[in-house]
Structure 1
Amino acid sequence: MPPKLIGPYRVMETLGSGGVGTVYRALDRRTNDPVALKLLSAGPALDTRAARRLAREYETLADLAHPNVVRVFDVGVFQGYPYLVMELIEGLTLRNYLDLRGAELLSPSGSFSSPRARALPDDSESWGDNEEDSDDEGGALPFNLAAFSEEEPSEVGFEAGPASVRALADAADEPDTGDPEDFDAGYEVPDPKVQLVERRIQEARTEDLNRPERMGRLKDAMLQVCEALAYIHGHGLVHRDLKPSNIMVDEDRQVRLMDFGLAKFLADDAGLTADGRMVGTFRYMSPEQILGEPLDARADLYSLGVILYELMTGRPPFDAKTPGSLWQQVLEVEPAPILGINLKGDPQLARVAHKLLRKEPDDRFQTAEEVYEALAE
């Protein structure tokens, strides 16, 4: 059972759980507004890296306001459990949204008829390439909150602010350290037979990918993502972890860019962490991100190109059995032509995707505004 109260927030129900925490629908008792509250595990199970990312996400987004960027409201520690409070977004990840057919989009009540995705992506996705758009709701909790349900709601142990989250992480662990070899541990080796079946299924799906109604939704969503990127880039931020599971679409078909736990200000060295560890999700990393070079907005645009390529072909531009092999392809190999995989794909969208995937940042679109204009042609 979840806790009844977390600071000023009344927990209503569980929205989803992941490797490091659980997301709840909650009510802010001060305003009576519904919110999404992500509660991390505590004690020996505390993921200190996730806790620091939680504080960073709050500090990154606290002063931002854009219709296509998720809003955050609060961060702190409740009885040893770090939490983040943000805008409640009930909808689907971008990939799941585009997988729906027209009849499935709306229920009689006007909301998505398909199961809703969790309001916050699982933090663990950012540290491996096996990126999935899971819509799991509820399920077994990764840590035991049963004791809280047996006690009367209490404010004891409640502390707000990003400093409290960092202090908890510092007390539980040394500052983040890591080894590039750690990335191999989370990389799933594809089965060749499974890959062959998937490719054959993909060939049969190209007609489904090109449904006019789906392509209209794809272009509209990409335009909204461009607006979100233009806004954050204009505020000196690089997202660094752009992928379909970090893009949500609500029942009004409004896109929200999510999960800014890896975001960096352009004034900082946005390539590596302080200890030299690479950050991001393997499949969506730009060449300069792989090389650990300082990043600018064009790294996010490369990731946008990977997303567009995937959504037009049903497969990633690069695929390999190991991270090293994947990175070698990203650095040295040109992706297969989209229109060679999807013969009836949209030529203009294909051109945009391929330009976004150029190896050299100078050869790509230079701003999200330029991408928007190209998509709108």
Structure 2
Amino acid sequence: MSQAPTWIGHTIGERYKIEELLGQGGMSAVYKATDPNLKRTVAIIIIHSHLSENPEFVRRFEQEAAAVAQLRHPNIMQVHDFDHDGVTYYIVFEYIPGQSLNQKLQDLRAAEQVMPLDEVIRIMTPLCNAVSYAHRQGMVHRDLKPSNVILNPAGQPILLDFGIAKILGDNYVHTATGATVGTAQYMAPEQVLGEKVDHRADIYSLGVMLYEMAAGRPPYEGNSAITVMMKHVNEPVPDARLFNADLPPVYNTILEKALAKNPNDRYDSANELAAALRDVSDAPAAPIAAASAASVTEVLSTPQAETAVDTTKPAGKPDPTPAATGAETAVVPPPPPASATTVETPPQAPPSTTAAPPPPIEPTGKKSRLPLYAGIAVVVILLLGIGGFFALRGNDDSRANELAEATAAPALPPAIQPTGEPTATEEVVVLPEPTEETATDIPEPTPEPTEEEATAVPTPTPTIEAPPNMTLIPAGSFLMGSPNGQPDEQPEHEVTLDAFFLDTFEVSNADYRECVAAGGCEQPVLTNAFTRQNYFNDPAYDNYPVIGVRWTHANAYCQWAGKRLPTEAEWEYAAAGPENFTWPWGNRFDPALSAAGSPDTQPVDAFPDGVSPFGIFNMAGSVNEWVQDTYDPNFYANSPAENPLNEAPGNRIYRGGSFANENGAFYTTSRRYNKSISTFDVDLGFRCAQDVSSE
């Protein structure tokens, strides 16, 4: 193939001024450019024109670009724009200087060092949260690996490569033969076998990264991609403490669960994995459980130089990472070389597991799409260096036969070692054709294991049962406030909270009347609503939120009920979730998902499509809600990092939003309001919280 013309010194799209080539492959080139309109540096991937001439290819590319452009997360690289200049198509990303996680791990390995565990957790916890956020948007990455993570100058991890993520939804068929493409060292067993792939394949890949970062090497290595892939299918996970004796046992337990062969045995969500990591920080190291000398010898005998995929760059290609000269390292890894081994096998029909999808996090009214990746995905993935699009490489029939033999029998032997000459280059492997269920919606949480299964996995943490009509909000961290909000919402800052329970619904008229009848509460100051007479006492409105209550009334009710008012931080975390949503349901305001377009309050269980990530109802209306804290416009500047609470004298805070106003700015999860404790109004109510017992 002839060399594509350079764009350096030219302008594309009559806007972006191309400055520097960051990387190039057979299907695309990655450039550093300037956007003069917004006066910022960007990264641009330009598709070579011979691909742009294919309308089907262009359509698929635009679909993927549009999908990833919808993601808004501080740890996911943003798409700014995509368009075409004549027959040349391009996509514009934010440009982030930094070092790839893969390069950092290579440097540590070369120095015979491993990453400190606290640094592993600091990097991987926000990455897990970012992946979980993308899963909630219906996107599965399918190619998570250290080379798709950039550590920016502040050390924050930024995830790349959602350009090839599958868009779950409307049966759009993007490909033709069901090929599975991925980097062998990080592929889940179901990807290797051509079975259906869902969000749990990403959890497996995160587990491989966690293993490699803490142990100094991935769990499986070999002299070819096929060797490594078959190890994922057949071999147990080596104890990571064989390579890093300082790891606490709980960390190894996390690895075993994340790297379970059966997707049903893994963590149900990446957020659950992140929560497990946060619990590791102070866990002590312990000796490795007794293992036979033979098993240890087998693990240690794998030559570390035989890394199959992605740990070294192929010879003869330019390194996109500049030498240590002080120059910035581009966030965009370059496309790999245009020659490699492609392995194809006859279509197979491996067994697949089927699980029903859970209730969606996003509003159910949104249109969904269900793509089916197949053979043309090989071409799609060739496209983008940053999008994880690999260059197409030559065929090797002998390796195709090996993989066909390895997967023909229903039960695979304990180990399959393919023959053939070792290769140090990355392989793009076309695997058995998946079943018709290759692309599925994200399944329901894993059913309880049988007694026999339970004995084969680590003992889970005891389930915490929430009180009636309350929801457990697990311990976690989030970014409180908003850099784009009101002055008192700034600065945005990280807050860590202990677990707590929160009322799933606002306190209703019926709830509050019970407290009044018991002598625990005063009558509300208002008994009529904005448009309704006898609102508080009319049974027709029993399931509507109580209004006309002062902060003192709300506090008294919660105490009577054996609860308390939530803190401001607890309220915001329950509303925004670990993904830091702008509104409880996501980052796009829709008045139909709350009482914003209603003339008065609505039932406490209304708008089920607008619940928060934790399933809490009506956190963007239909009444504002008192919280425990005293208002201080400058509190965020000096807020405690853990369980913040301001109890100084002064006005009290209320949160949420009310009704009859479709301006979304009044309903954001970070918006703060305050009034004196004696204030009451037709749109002011509350809900309660409760501590989680430490017993």
TM-score in terms of structure 2 length: 0.36
Cα distance change on mapping 1:84 and 1:375 into 2, 3 Å: same
Within 5 A, what are the aligned runs for 1:137-286? 205=112, 208-209=113-114, 214-267=116-169, 273-286=175-188
1:80 is displaced (CA, Å) by: 3.0
1:298 is displaced (CA, Å) by: 0.7
How far apart, CA to CA, are the structure 1 residues paired with 2:228 and 2:171? 24
Matched, 1:89 2:96: yes
- Tell me the number of residue pairs that the alignment of Structure 1 and Structure 2 aligns: 272
Q: Is the 8 A contact 1:266 1:296 kept in 2?
A: no
Matched, 1:305 2:207: yes
Matched, 1:358 2:260: yes
Q: Deviations over 1:245-271 (max 9, x none)?
A: 111111112221111122013336899
Question: 2:79 matched to which residue of 1?
Answer: 72
Match of 1:5 among 7, 11, 36: 11
Q: Deviations over 1:327-372 (max 9, x none)?
A: 3221121121111222223433332222111000111111011101
How far apart, CA to CA, are the structure 1 residues paired with 2:97 and 2:168? 31
How far apart, CA to CA, are the structure 1 residues paired with 2:162 and 2:196? 18
Greater mean alpha carbon deviation, residues 338-347 or residues 355-364? 338-347
| CA RMSD, 1 decimal | 3.0
Q: Deviations over 1:173-226 (max 9, x none)?
A: xxxxxxxxxxxxxxxxxxxxxxxxxxxx88x82xx215xxx4332211100111
Q: Is the 8 A contact 2:9 2:19 kept in 1?
A: no
Question: 2:468 matched to which residue of 1?
Answer: none
Cα distance change on mapping 1:258 and 1:53 into 2, 3 Å: farther
Aligned AA (2:177) = D
Cα distance change on mapping 1:257 and 1:339 into 2, 3 Å: same
Cα distance change on mapping 1:290 and 1:99 into 2, 3 Å: closer
1:325 is displaced (CA, Å) by: 3.2
Q: Is the 8 A contact 1:238 1:270 kept in 2?
A: no
Q: Deviations over 1:18-62 (max 9, x none)?
A: 443322221223222221111232238989998666434312212
SS at match of 1:209: coil
How far apart, CA to CA, are the structure 1 residues paired with 2:260 and 2:46? 39
Matched, 1:370 2:272: yes
Cα distance change on mapping 1:354 and 1:216 into 2, 3 Å: same
Q: Deviations over 1:141-185 (max 9, x none)?
A: xxxxxxxxxxxxxxxxxxxxxxxxxxxxxxxxxxxxxxxxxxxxx
Question: 2:241 matched to which residue of 1?
Answer: 339
Aligned AA (1:258) = L
Greater mean alpha carbon deviation, residues 255-264 or residues 322-331? 322-331
SS at match of 2:122: helix
SS at match of 2:29: strand
How far apart, CA to CA, are the structure 1 residues paired with 2:42 and 2:148? 18
Larger Rg: 2
Aligned AA (1:362) = N
Matched, 1:326 2:223: no
1:275 is displaced (CA, Å) by: 1.9
SS at match of 1:11: strand
TM-score in terms of structure 1 length: 0.65
Matched, 1:57 2:78: no
Match of 2:217 among 315, 339, 345: 315
How far apart, CA to CA, are the structure 1 residues paired with 2:162 and 2:18? 24
1:90 is displaced (CA, Å) by: 0.9
Cα distance change on mapping 1:326 and 1:19 into 2, 3 Å: same
Cα distance change on mapping 1:350 and 1:54 into 2, 3 Å: farther
Q: Is the 8 A contact 2:78 2:93 kept in 1?
A: yes
How far apart, CA to CA, are the structure 1 residues paired with 2:272 and 2:172? 22
SS at match of 2:163: coil
How far apart, CA to CA, are the structure 2 residues paired with 1:45 and 1:281? 26
Q: Deviations over 1:51-101 (max 9, x none)?
A: 666434312212221101111021223343321101111111113345668
Over the matched positions of the two proteins, sequence identity in percent amounts to 36
Cα distance change on mapping 1:47 and 1:223 into 2, 3 Å: farther
Question: 2:507 matched to which residue of 1?
Answer: none
SS at match of 2:37: coil
Q: Is the 8 A contact 1:54 1:83 kept in 2?
A: no
**Could you list the runs of 5+ residues in structure 1 that have no partner in the other structure?**
102-200
Aligned AA (1:84) = I
Q: Is the 8 A contact 1:40 1:51 kept in 2?
A: no
Cα distance change on mapping 1:49 and 1:220 into 2, 3 Å: farther
Cα distance change on mapping 1:275 and 1:221 into 2, 3 Å: same
How far apart, CA to CA, are the structure 2 residues paired with 1:271 and 1:82? 21
Question: 2:624 matched to which residue of 1?
Answer: none
